[in-house]
Amino acid sequence: MASIGVGLIGLGTVGSGVVEILRRHGEDFSRRAGVQIELVRFADRDIARATALGLDETAFTTDAAELIADPRVDVVIELIGGTGAAKQIVLDALRAGKSVVTANKALMASSGQEVMDAAAAAGVDIMFEASVGGGIPIIGPLKHSLVSNEITSVAGIVNGTTNYMLTRMADDGLDYGTALAEAQAKGFAEADPTADVDGLDAAAKIAILASIAFNSRVTVDRVPVEGIRHITPADIAYAREMGYAIKLMAIARRSTGGIDVRVHPAMIPGTHPLASVSGVYNAIYVTGDAVGETMFFGEGAGSLPAASAVVGDLIEVARHLRSNCLNLVGCTCNEQLPVRDIADLEARYFIRFAVADKPGVLAAVASRFGDHGVSIASVIQKKVRESGDAEIVYVTHDASERAVRAALDEISKLDVVTEVAAVIRVEDL
């Protein structure tokens, strides 16, 4: 049996999971792939990580370039993350004729085209299943099993940290700060939670999924993004009263004007399968013209789930190497669809105001909405706050984001309006 040499760069959370899975099942994998898969070199900044994993220290290096240049290395696994050194490593490995497996969403969402082009030029594989949804298979299914469809939408919960926080806020009434502190204490959120709570992590993932689903490159900088910092237990309670749940949604839809892609908190129907995805779990709901509706569910992060996808990709590459058919699918972005301006979005909106508790306020607010062609589906007037202000909630019919923003700009300047407390899109999915 021929043997395939693997060089692993990054022995952190996911890298250590890869080592563990290869140890547990390496022999089986070699049988399944028809080739011996051998971890021949590894790199990290600190040899202590290799020692802790019981790896052969003589196969360790701190120099990724040395690993790439090693003739025994046929496949490079990049698990350091980020877009700096990782980008160089991935491009250098591809240009050296080595296939690459990565879990790096930041890299693929920002420089995916450059990376895919380098792989095509060298005639090698680039695989990145773990970059979206951790252990959930989604890139493979979109590129292979669902390729017979015209995909109309991909909508998902792709960030476990924020889903955990929103679940705790909904189930136990925690406020945002307490939910974040708890997520950090449990290791679900970083000390700097920006990438998660501001939606940036989810934006990178939906950029990757949109590119594959619609065969047209979407980079992360084109994804309008709004995080969950402003979500309050009050909004969650209103949502529940209306039969909805609030989730941080990553959405990509094929539309007449191009691709509608975005990340923001949304009210989704409580009866939709995505509403029951709780805690750190992720799920991606894909709709295709032939298959109908499908949902991919599982653990979106963590050492072994992410490593499950990485090792799955590795075995696929080993099969390709064995049968000498690398870069069979490659880049599938053979169209150039425009990404729509979010101002052109048509959606329903939940809008919560604090207003002076006096006659005529409702009419004043409603007339500004009317001036901009925003039609109101329902109005809920709730308790008077301690300050003496009243809280009113409007839910609009389908309206353009541009019109809603223009109306809100005027309404926020009315003397009787103390605060535009929340604006949340309602997605009936």
Ligand X SMILES: NC(=O)c1ccc[n+]([C@@H]2O[C@H](COP(=O)([O-])OP(=O)(O)OC[C@H]3O[C@@H](n4cnc5c(N)ncnc54)[C@H](OP(=O)(O)O)[C@@H]3O)[C@@H](O)[C@H]2O)c1
Enzyme catalytic residues? 205
The CB-of-179 to ligand X minimum distance in angstroms stands at 20
Does residue 196 bind ligand X (CB under 6 A)? no
Say how far apart CA 263 and CA 250 lie, in whole Å: 4
Report the residue from 5, 7, 81, 112 that binds ligand X according to the rule CB under 6 A.
81
Does residue 138 bind ligand X (CB under 6 A)? no
Report the residue from 21, 43, 119, 263 that binds ligand X according to the rule CB under 6 A.
43
Does residue 416 bind ligand X (CB under 6 A)? no
Q: Token pair for residue 209?
A: 């999924």
- Measured from the CB atom, the residue of 201 and 427 that comes closer to ligand X is 201
Backbone angles phi, psi at 293, to 5 degrees: -105, 135
CA distances from 296 to 138, 156, 257, 280 (A): 7, 9, 27, 14
Return all residues near 252 (Cβ < 8 A) that are at least 6 apart.
153, 154, 155, 206, 209, 210, 213, 214, 218, 259, 260, 261
Report the residue from 130, 136, 277, 393 that binds ligand X according to the rule CB under 6 A.
130
Does residue 113 bind ligand X (CB under 6 A)? no
Backbone angles phi, psi at 48, to 5 degrees: -60, -30
CB 82 within 8 A of CB 200: no
Return all residues near 182 (Cβ < 8 A) that are at least 6 apart.
165, 168, 174
Report the residue from 41, 87, 98, 105 that binds ligand X according to the rule CB under 6 A.
105
C-alpha count within 13 angstroms, C-beta hemisphere, residue 413? 6
CB 309 within 8 A of CB 303: no
Options 238-246, 299-307, 342-350, 382-390: segment touching ligand X (CB under 6 A): 299-307
The CB-of-83 to ligand X minimum distance in angstroms stands at 10
Does residue 279 bind ligand X (CB under 6 A)? no
Query: Parallel, antiparallel, or unpaired: how do β-strands 75-78 and 99-102 relate?
Result: parallel
The CB-of-115 to ligand X minimum distance in angstroms stands at 13
Does residue 61 bind ligand X (CB under 6 A)? no
Say how far apart CA 238 and CA 34 lie, in whole Å: 57
- Measured from the CB atom, the residue of 142 and 424 that comes closer to ligand X is 142
Does residue 45 bind ligand X (CB under 6 A)? yes
The CB-of-319 to ligand X minimum distance in angstroms stands at 23
DSSP secondary structure, 195-209, as one string:
HHHTSHHHHHHHHHH
Does residue 298 bind ligand X (CB under 6 A)? no
CA distances from 335 to 87, 259, 309 (A): 25, 11, 27
Report the residue from 19, 39, 64, 90 that binds ligand X according to the rule CB under 6 A.
64
- Measured from the CB atom, the residue of 149 and 184 that comes closer to ligand X is 184
The CB-of-61 to ligand X minimum distance in angstroms stands at 9
Return all residues near 427 (Cβ < 8 A) that are at least 6 apart.
155, 249, 251, 266, 267, 268, 347
Does residue 83 bind ligand X (CB under 6 A)? no
Report the residue from 85, 337, 406, 420 that binds ligand X according to the rule CB under 6 A.
85
Backbone angles phi, psi at 207, to 5 degrees: -65, -45
Does residue 9 bind ligand X (CB under 6 A)? yes
Report the residue from 5, 7, 112, 134 that binds ligand X according to the rule CB under 6 A.
134
- Measured from the CB atom, the residue of 313 and 401 that comes closer to ligand X is 313
**Residues at the contact surface with ligand X, assessed by CB under 6 A:** 9-15, 43-46, 49, 64, 79-81, 85, 103-105, 130, 134, 301-302, 306
